[in-house]
Amino acid sequence: MGLKMKKSIKIIATVLPLFFSGIISYAQLIYKSDQFDRVIEEKKGDVQILEGLSKEQLNIFKPHITSYFKTLEYNYKDSLYLFSTEINKKVQDIAESIYNANQDRFTQKPFFILSTSDQPNAFCDFNGIMVVNTGLIELVDDEHQLAFVIAHELAHFILKHAETSMSKALGVLGSSEFKGKIKEIKRMEYNKVKKFENLMKDLAIKTSSHSRELESDADALAVELLKNTRFNLSKAIKVMEVLEEVDWFYENVQYNLSALYGTSEFPLDNIFLTDPDKGFSFFQQQTEKEKKLQDSLHTHPDCAERYKTLQGSISNDSKTSNEDELFSNIKELSADITLKRLLKKRALAYSYSRILYLEKNQNWAKEYQVYKANIFNQFSEAQKKHRLNSLCPKKSPNMPEAFKEFVVFIHNQSVKDFAKHALVHILNTPIELLSKELADDIKQAFEVCEDEALKIKVASHYKRKFLDFNF
Ligand SMILES: [Zn+2]
């Protein structure tokens, strides 16, 4: 064990600096795997959850299953999934530790997929396909917390919760009350769509209150699954506290705007924060009832409550693990991969807000200054071509309040302002973190920025590392 671990520490230690200096780029990571193709084909041909359903029931559920597999395949083709990294190995190792200690509970061995999605989430489907997002891994504090999430998802699989939810949904859909309501809506002349949507929302709320029971069952089994493993239960269940604060990126944006731009060099003009068409915002017309509805459908309900229940169910665990230091590298790598994917998708404002959050909370994130300069140059280009709104939509559904202010801020910047932001970020980058790739960003910003004093400062800062840099 000791020897094996030393070896993997060494691999990570060599991979990480390469990763950050841009030698391993996002494009060079591995997105294809023969095993994935084979497993998905196999699972598609053997959907046990559909066995024993009537023809009418199959008509309802088969399309869902088909579109579920289509989504997996689409994501795979779109390079959302990642293979063969140190993160894959870690997730596999944690999952296998749990599986090996509890083999008798499983009817088949689960198949693990690492997704580069930014959503702090993981799930295990009815067929034993489990997806873990890098957006979750970057958030958890240690491998014990990640182990809890994985164990919880495996518990859903073992307890056949997909089947339970399906038969409950069948019950509601097949009830005379539901059928009657559908008939009623069909007879209506107006507002059919709206009425139908409301009926479906109602159904979602009913099903989510069912699923709360299932959640606590899965939590309880997760604790059992972890008992015979190396993971520390007291540490593991703390993941609930982490998930409770899931909106952090956005809140941080609001906090940081004045800290970032309220300096003498870069005064934060209040005019930047005023939305000229505020009065027409669709989102402000939301009723209290609609807001409540959204809350009750929140992805991670009752985390704080679940944490308390879990705390009561375990005794203080004093197991120690020497993998914690190793895990901080996995977190870092996950955050970088998630961010690179968002940048590739040009989710720029969101990427920027993540960077601000990471900089505030993780000391390694100081390396992200270089991304910020690039983001502002991309905004500048878009503003010049009057395409800022497609790159950073002013209005989109469910945009959090804190993030709206930031988007307004972005929209109030001129092409020159963006160039200035880019240059200030380069000036703030510690000399040892300056990279050759920044030269293009500097040149691009120099063409637009009119602040000659700032340009001289940036040039001499960059030349301290790259003597041969020409303007
Ligand atoms: Zn769950």
Q: Residues 6 or more apart from 283 whose CB is under 8 A from it?
A: 395, 399, 404
What are the tens digits of pLDDT across the range 397-448? 777 777 888 888 889 889 999 999 899 889 888 888 888 888 888 999 999 9
Q: Which residue has the higher pLDDT, 250 or 76?
A: 76
User: How far, in Å, is the centroid of ligand 1 from the Cα of 61?
Assistant: 21
User: Is pLDDT at 385 greater than 90 in this prediction?
Assistant: yes
User: How far, in Å, is the centroid of ligand 1 from the Cα of 317?
Assistant: 23
User: How far, in Å, is the centroid of ligand 1 from the Cα of 304?
Assistant: 14
The pLDDT-based confidence of 11 (bands split at 50, 70, 90) is very low
- pTM for the whole structure: 0.80
User: How far, in Å, is the centroid of ligand 1 from the Cα of 271?
Assistant: 45
User: How far, in Å, is the centroid of ligand 1 from the Cα of 215?
Assistant: 5
The percent helix, strand, coil of the chain (3-state, each to 5) is 70, 5, 25
User: How far, in Å, is the centroid of ligand 1 from the Cα of 227?
Assistant: 19
CA distances from 239 to 56, 115, 145, 294, 366 (A): 42, 19, 5, 23, 25
State the average pLDDT for the chain: 80
**Contact of 230 with 321, CB cutoff 8 Å:** yes
Structure token digits, residue 106: 């499983």
DSSP one-letter string for 361-423: H-GGGGGGHHHHHHHHHHHHHHHHTT-HHHHS-S--TT--HHHHHHHHHHHT--HHHHHHHHH
Buried b / exposed e along 139-170 (16+ C-beta atoms within 10 A): bbbbbbbbbbbbbbbbbbbbbebbebbbeebb
Per-residue pLDDT, 88: 95
Per-residue pLDDT, 33: 92
Per-residue pLDDT, 41: 93
Q: What is the mean pLDDT of residues 98-112?
A: 95
Structure token digits, residue 103: 């083999």
User: How far, in Å, is the centroid of ligand 1 from the Cα of 153?
Assistant: 6
User: How far, in Å, is the centroid of ligand 1 from the Cα of 456?
Assistant: 55
User: How far, in Å, is the centroid of ligand 1 from the Cα of 217?
Assistant: 9
